[in-house]
């Protein structure tokens, strides 16, 4: 996956908007179709990326291209990328989203626990994590004797610390801020 901050931010921002409006599957399908157009028409891609061409001209051409078979959300996203001078990242954004969402509908999550949990509790934790991360998860449980209590969940590069030690560290930081303020 791409480590570029711009790629991740714009990709995740667009997919969150798309989930609320047109749906993730339609957004991914439209991006795939738009990528096909860019590959088939390299002059079009060059036109969008050329800084000396006015944005209004780019928007006008985008309107014509997006009029057939593309949502307003995709058109607006492309216009945003043009305005912010990030249109050069479009193919990377599309590839990031394809890899992240199209092929990996269900992501692996490691749940480290201090003691064995009931199946019902594990199911509730899974549902809560899926809602928070807006992804389907496959949970793997690992018993961790170093945890004082609570859980730690790792999904990709994301760590969610619900352990007792983690809660104490957060509480300590808040108290230190109050003491300084």
Q: List, in order of start, the domains of the chain with CATH numbers.
A: 5-102 (1.10.520), 106-180 (3.40.30)
- At residue 1, does pLDDT exceed 60? no
Confidence label for 169 from pLDDT (cuts 50, 70 and 90): confident
> For residue range 65-109, what is the model confidence (pLDDT) as tens digits?
888 889 999 999 999 999 999 999 999 999 888 877 765 567 888
The overall average pLDDT reported for the chain is: 87
13, 128, 164 from 72: Cα distances, Å: 16, 32, 46
Say how many Å lie between the first and final Cα of the chain, rounded: 41
Helices and strands (H, E) in the chain, number of each type: 8, 4
């Amino acid at each position: 996956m791409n480590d570029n901050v711009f790629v991740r931010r714009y990709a995740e921002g667009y997919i969150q908007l798309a989930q609320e409006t047109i749906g993730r599957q339609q957004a991914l399908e439209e991006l795939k179709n738009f990528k096909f157009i860019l590959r088939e028409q390299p002059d079009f891609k060059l036109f969008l990326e050329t800084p000396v061409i006015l944005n209004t001209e780019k928007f006008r051409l985008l309107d014509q291209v997006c009029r057939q078979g593309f949502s307003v959300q995709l058109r607006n996203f492309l216009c945003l990328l043009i305005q912010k001078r990030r249109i050069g990242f479009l193919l990377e954004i599309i590839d990031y989203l394809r890899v992240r969402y199209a092929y990996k509908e269900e992501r692996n999550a490691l749940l480290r626990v201090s003691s064995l949990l009931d199946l019902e509790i594990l199911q509730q934790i899974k549902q809560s994590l899926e809602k928070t991360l807006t992804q389907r998860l496959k949970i793997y449980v690992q018993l961790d004797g170093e945890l004082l209590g609570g859980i730690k969940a790792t999904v990709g590069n994301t760590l969610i610390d619900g352990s007792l030690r983690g809660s104490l560290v957060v509480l300590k930081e808040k108290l230190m801020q109050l003491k300084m303020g």
